[in-house]
Amino acid sequence: MDSLAVTEALSRVFSDASVLQAMLDFEVALARAEARCGVIPAQAAETIAAVARAESFGSADIAELVRFSLRAGTPAIPLVQALKEKVRAKDPSAAGVVHWGATSQDVVDTALVLLLSNCRALLAADHDRIQRGLRRLSDEHADTVMLGRTLLQAAPPVTFGLKAAGWYAALRRGWWRVDSRFTESQYLQFGGASGTLAALGERGISVSEAVAQELGLKCPDAPWHAYPDRLAALLAALSIYTASLGKVALDIALLMQHEVGEAAEPGGDGRGGSSSMPHKHNPTACMLTIAAAKRTPGLMANFLNGMLQEHERALGGWQSEWTTVQGMLQAAGVALESMAEVIEGLKVDPQRMRRNIEATQGTVFAEKALVQLAETMGRDDARRLVEETLRKTGSPPDLPGLLSPESYLGSAEAFRVRLLEEEQQDAIR
């Protein structure tokens, strides 16, 4: 069932080989930075860089690293030991300066930050697909009338263009938060044993700045070993964004109900079928998105709970972060990829939308009738007349033009345009 919780692309980002390379990238950057700052010999740094490649580790090597990571409580310890052995085979003198001045959390946290950049690009690509698709749908259906629905009951008409624009704007606001928090997360973790870089003497800050430069990361004012608030902000933004995707998915799934039939996600290639009912076209992609959105609150709570960390390095809180961050990113990835497919291939049925309005026998225009009658008889008398007519006939009073949904859309089009044209700097308004 894990296949329902992660995309192929994100599974590659968090594969053993990818994680291994991210940790090795830290070790290479550390060695080169320390060579630049005169801490270790330049030749030693080049030897480390030549050896620290994931392809240098065979499947048996990786399996052993995984096995010993559990015993060590961190993958950094067996990784550093294995790297030293590979460096020793090439240059014995260089083996002694591998991982110089660093600690396990430096390797693991920085590797995670590096992997976040890879995730960001994947998520952004699917977000862009969704935004293009929603803008197209909104423009194409600017005049497509449909029932408004409040508390799951029929209400005065809206347009599908307005509904799609609402989805578009919510996701744009959500991505603005996510993207800015990705940027905020891109900080090096490098503090050494107790967060002081004491092993580097007076060169700690210069080495930190050099490592950050090597990796294309920002250098923090100080190590953040027990302060994962930037990661928490990213996860909070991801949880909000994924929930917004879930809202879109839920709306579409409800529109796909047989008795509603106003929209349908694309099928084919095994999508949406049933093992026992050949007639069914299930909202499978919407289902996966909703499931992902339902997972995120628990993941967010887990991360916040883990932020209560002891002194300079946590006992359990930090160790729980990786799987929680990975789970949140994978949930967002599944939701994004699923909804990109839905939005790009969404089938909208304007005729069914209009028939569903007509099937209410005018009851959704009761407010419209009240407004028209109130102009001549006052609001209270108009309300009594409309309510009495509805009780007796099941329909509102017969008034000219009453049953035209196009004449009772208010500011729907103005709102639609405003939602689509909202400037990026005002995205969270």
Q: What is the CATH number of the domain that holds 44?
A: 1.10.275.10
Q: Of 88, 132, 230, 313, which one is the catalytic site residue?
A: 313
352: Cβ–Cβ under 8 A, 6 or more apart, which residues?
260, 261, 262
Q: Span 288-314, mean pLDDT?
A: 95
147-199 tens-digit pLDDT: 999 999 999 999 999 999 999 999 999 999 999 999 999 999 999 999 999 99
Q: Within this chain, do residues 210 and 269 fall inside the same structural domain, yes or no?
A: no
- Binned at pLDDT 50, 70 and 90, residue 425 comes out as very low
For the whole model, what pTM was predicted? 0.92
pLDDT of the residue at 429: 53
Query: Does residue 6 belong to any structural domain of this protein?
Result: no
Q: How many CA atoms lie within 13 A of 184 on its CB side?
A: 16
98: Cβ–Cβ under 8 A, 6 or more apart, which residues?
27, 31, 48, 80, 83, 84, 87
Q: Span 251-258, mean pLDDT?
A: 97
Query: Does residue 7 belong to any structural domain of this protein?
Result: no
Instruction: Report the CATH number at residue 173.
Output: 1.20.200.10
pLDDT of the residue at 70: 87
Encoded tokens for 28: 């290479």
Q: Of 274, 404, 407, 411, which one is the catalytic site residue?
A: 274
Encoded tokens for 282: 């299930």
Q: Within this chain, do residues 281 and 321 fall inside the same structural domain, yes or no?
A: yes
Q: Within this chain, do residues 259 and 111 fall inside the same structural domain, yes or no?
A: yes
Query: Does residue 249 belong to any structural domain of this protein?
Result: yes
Query: Does residue 345 belong to any structural domain of this protein?
Result: yes
Q: Within this chain, do residues 328 and 231 fall inside the same structural domain, yes or no?
A: yes
Q: Span 378-400, mean pLDDT?
A: 93
Told to judge if 274 belongs to the known catalytic residues of this protein, a careful annotator would answer yes
Q: Within this chain, do residues 79 and 135 fall inside the same structural domain, yes or no?
A: no
* Number of domains within the chain: 3
Which residues constitute the domain of residue 414?
360-426
146: Cβ–Cβ under 8 A, 6 or more apart, which residues?
157, 158, 159, 160, 163, 262, 353, 354, 356, 357
Told to judge if 117 belongs to the known catalytic residues of this protein, a careful annotator would answer no
pLDDT of the residue at 318: 86
Q: Within this chain, do residues 279 and 408 fall inside the same structural domain, yes or no?
A: no
- Binned at pLDDT 50, 70 and 90, residue 136 comes out as very high
Q: Within this chain, do residues 113 and 67 fall inside the same structural domain, yes or no?
A: no
pLDDT of the residue at 271: 59
Under a CB-based contact definition with an 8 Å cutoff, are residues 340 and 11 in contact?
Answer: no
Structural domain ending residue among the three candidates 325, 341, 359: 359
Q: Within this chain, do residues 250 and 301 fall inside the same structural domain, yes or no?
A: yes
Query: Which segment of 72-76, 90-94, 183-187, 256-260 scores lowest on mean pLDDT?
Result: 72-76
Query: Does residue 193 belong to any structural domain of this protein?
Result: no
Q: Within this chain, do residues 232 and 301 fall inside the same structural domain, yes or no?
A: yes
Query: Does residue 5 belong to any structural domain of this protein?
Result: no
Is the model's pLDDT at 280 over the cut of 70? no
